[in-house]
Amino acid sequence: MAQQQSGGMSGAQMIQQNAQMRAALLATSPRMRKNLGNFNGGSLGGTTRVKLYNVGIITRLLLKVSAKLDIGTAVPTLSPQAPFNLISRLRLTDFDGTDRVNCTGFELFLINCSRNGGYYGYNNDGAPSVTTPTGATSVPASVLSNPIMPSLVAGAKTLQFYLEVPLAFDPEKDLRGAILAQTALGEMYLNIDWATAFLSNGNADTPYSSATATVALTAGETINVQVWQEFLLPQTLGNQVPLPQLDLLTVYELAGTIKSSDNLAAGTEKLINFPNVRSVIGAYFRYVNNGVMNSATAFDSAGTANAAADVSQFRVIANGNNVLYDATAESQLFEQRIKMGSAGADLRPGTYFLQFRNKPIETALYGNVQLGITPSNVTNTTFPAYVGFCFESFYTKGATLPGLSQASG
């Protein structure tokens, strides 16, 4: 029988030790939230950089984005991606240059919805309250309005929304992806790229669409983002600090911002490769056809055929011929509704997600894994049709973490 090296640990022992250190860390560490401040000066097409504090074990960031807008001439149409597509790219790179998060604001919103099992940040999944207070004649407005998306013709109206940037998969149960920041050896930044325009006619990639309306920042105003950093503050326990090394060496990766427009034809399956050497737990994608995001349903509520339906089938295929998942557009939407919680909220039109949390897609074992999308309508008259996609994955880093010894014990 094979013996382990002197002083070394087997894989099972490392996993057991990691679980013990994780439990000890969660049981003893205070939960901290630091307000990093309100960062103003953002502009269309520009970038806002936010320096994170080198403190504790970072588990999560919370963003509040706001801007004052002047809407003129006519009432514009809100994009299905609004207001989150005001962020064209959000990128967080750790101390050694590894991208932890690289996705659009709308992709991050979809991930937030999937992680929370509901329409993220909305009151009652966007539905009205189910009860009326005793003695009241109407249901009062929510104390918190989120998101705020002004569209009426007016000046100095506030656009505002919240987004969560997850670093640990579950800050209270599963610390895979958490970042050990107790080091003076480097700096870590959150970079937010803003959209190049508030409005573009017929284009779902800008927050507003209109042929006649105008949308601009109010004079003297900028795009602002307030950032909170959440972290665990490790405590000494028995002359040592409990650090779950496997969790801290694991990257919880959100990788997106890709728009693929090649090989798009009606009735022909388009294949998108899963990322290599990853444990993929989620795939998020949207189909934008000629700048428009249409519903995938074949019939409306009255039973009338929906001529605007853009997608007919979704598949997950391993090694070219092993079909792991096969769904029509309607069955896919039904599965998404079930996963979105008891309220059964639907996502924005043209948006879809697949979850593999209970059994991740191990691309190192399967080999070549692809997502197949069959469009039923492809139009490129004004804007190129494309599929935008983002993957949620785990993988283990090989580099030494700052401040964490790799010596075996």
Supply the pLDDT for residue 238: 83
| Tens digits of residue pLDDT in 55-94 | 999 999 999 999 999 999 999 999 999 999 999 999 999 9
Which residue, 320, 296, 293, 323, is CA-closest to 307?
Answer: 296
* Distance, CA of 116 to CA of 172 (rounded, Å): 14
User: Which two three-digit tokens encode residue 283?
Assistant: 């795939």
Strand partners, 106: none
- Give me the residue label for tokens 């079930």: 338
Supply the pLDDT for residue 297: 72
Tell me if domain 16-123+145-257 and domain 261-397 are identical in fold.
no
Supply the pLDDT for residue 142: 56
Supply the pLDDT for residue 80: 94
16-123+145-257 has which CATH code?
Answer: 2.70.9.30
- Type of residue at 45: G
Supply the pLDDT for residue 288: 96
Instruction: Tell me yes or no: is domain 261-397 CATH 3.40.920.10.
Output: no
CB 353 within 8 A of CB 103: no
* Distance, CA of 326 to CA of 155 (rounded, Å): 49
SS3 272: strand
Supply the pLDDT for residue 4: 45
Which residue ranges make up each domain of the chain? 16-123+145-257, 261-397
- Alpha helices per DSSP H over 214-300: 245-248
User: Which two three-digit tokens encode residue 362?
Assistant: 């191990």
CB 62 within 8 A of CB 230: yes
pTM: 0.90
Cis omega (within 30 of 0) for bond into 83:
yes
Segments of 52-141 assigned E as strands: 57-72, 77-78, 87-93, 99-103
List average pLDDT for each run of 10 residues in the chain, which is 409 residues long. Answer: 51 89 95 97 97 96 98 95 97 93 97 90 60 50 79 95 97 96 89 97 96 96 98 90 94 96 94 94 96 80 71 93 92 89 75 94 89 94 96 80 35
- Residues ≥6 apart with Cβ < 8 Å to 320: 368
How many residues does this entry show for the chain?
409
CB 152 within 8 A of CB 74: no
SS3 383: coil
